[in-house]
């Protein structure tokens, strides 16, 4: 297998190609699939493939969540989906949302699973065990490691903002920035705009994967704040993820068309927030 270009480089190319900071999360739940797919072979793959085909020209990345496939014993669907994206849309990076976090040989096996078995371009990683839990992923040349920093869920402050003097999320940001690598990025939730601004000051060059927009509550105000204080030194560095608000935008056989309309609306909203920041 040939060594891919550094993940950071491919992400910058995707931003330029698509003129978009939108990432569509692929989190298929069998009970929410359109009824005509219920009896189809490999329904999770077919559902996600149609979403991909409807939105690929609108996004800078796709983010399948491994748990939604594992729970259904559909690992084969996930592999087929990633292979399809790479073949049909080779300029669009794939980020597996796996949130792996362990050390030693276990972390090495997780990294092999995600980067070799699934051939994903990047993966989310939990830094709770320190750099030892991240290094096995970072050692895979050309692959991206998206490190949880300050997440979008309401109770995240319970741990991530402790201790108050020098909170854990800023320690994560500073450590990743100090590595000076083109394969590291951070997860920073849209629903905590003040903390996002602090993380950007601590990590001026790292890309941010920003969940929390759409079904999780982030809207136009959060998008304006993200681009007002979250872009990197080049005016980029933001990947805004939305999952349920896009993939479940419609029902029935027209679900993919409805997803396209939802993705287009959010992409345009993101562009307006970005352009406003650039003009200020």
- Catalytic residue IDs: 99
Identify which of 99, 201, 114 has the alpha carbon closest to the alpha carbon of residue 151: 99
State how far the Cα of 62 lies from the Cα of 205, in Å rounded to an integer: 22
74 touches 40 (CB < 8 A)? no
Task: Kindly state the greatest CA–CA separation across the chain.
Answer: 55
Q: What is the DSSP string of 170-212?
A: HHHHHHHHHT--TTEEEEE-TT-HHHHHHHHHH-SSS-EEE--
State how far the Cα of 258 lies from the Cα of 255, in Å rounded to an integer: 5
User: Angle of helix 255-279 relative to helix 43-55, nearest 10 degrees?
Assistant: 40
240 touches 190 (CB < 8 A)? yes
- First and final C-alpha spacing in the chain: 45
11 touches 4 (CB < 8 A)? no
């Amino acid at each position: 297998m040939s060594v891919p270009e550094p993940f950071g480089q491919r992400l910058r190319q995707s931003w330029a190609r698509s003129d978009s900071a939108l990432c569509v999360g692929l989190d298929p739940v069998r009970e929410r699939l359109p009824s005509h797919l219920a009896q189809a072979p490999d329904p999770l793959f077919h559902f996600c493939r149609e979403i991909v085909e409807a939105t690929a020209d609108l996004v800078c990345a796709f983010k399948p969540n491994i748990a939604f496939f594992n729970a259904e014993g559909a690992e084969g669907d996930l592999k087929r989906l990633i292979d399809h994206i790479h073949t049909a849309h080779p300029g669009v990076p794939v980020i597996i949302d796996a949130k792996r976090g362990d050390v030693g040989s276990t972390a090495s096996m997780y990294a092999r699973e995600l980067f070799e078995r699934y051939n994903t371009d990047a993966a989310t990683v939990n830094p709770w065990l320190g750099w030892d839990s991240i290094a096995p992923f970072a050692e895979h040349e050309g692959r991206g490691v998206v490190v949880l920093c300050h997440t979008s869920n309401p109770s995240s402050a319970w741990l991530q903002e402790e201790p108050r003097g020098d909170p854990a999320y800023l320690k994560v940001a500073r450590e990743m920035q100090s590595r000076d690598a083109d394969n590291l990025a951070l997860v920073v939730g849209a629903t905590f705009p003040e903390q996002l601004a602090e993380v950007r000051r601590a990590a001026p060059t790292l890309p941010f994967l920003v969940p929390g927009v759409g079904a999780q509550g982030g809207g136009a105000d959060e998008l304006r704040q993200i681009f007002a204080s979250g872009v990197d030194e080049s005016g980029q560095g933001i990947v805004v993820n939305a999952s349920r608000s896009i993939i479940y935008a419609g029902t029935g056989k027209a679900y993919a068309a409805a997803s396209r309309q939802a993705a287009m609306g959010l992409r345009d909203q993101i562009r307006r927030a970005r352009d406003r920041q650039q003009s200020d």
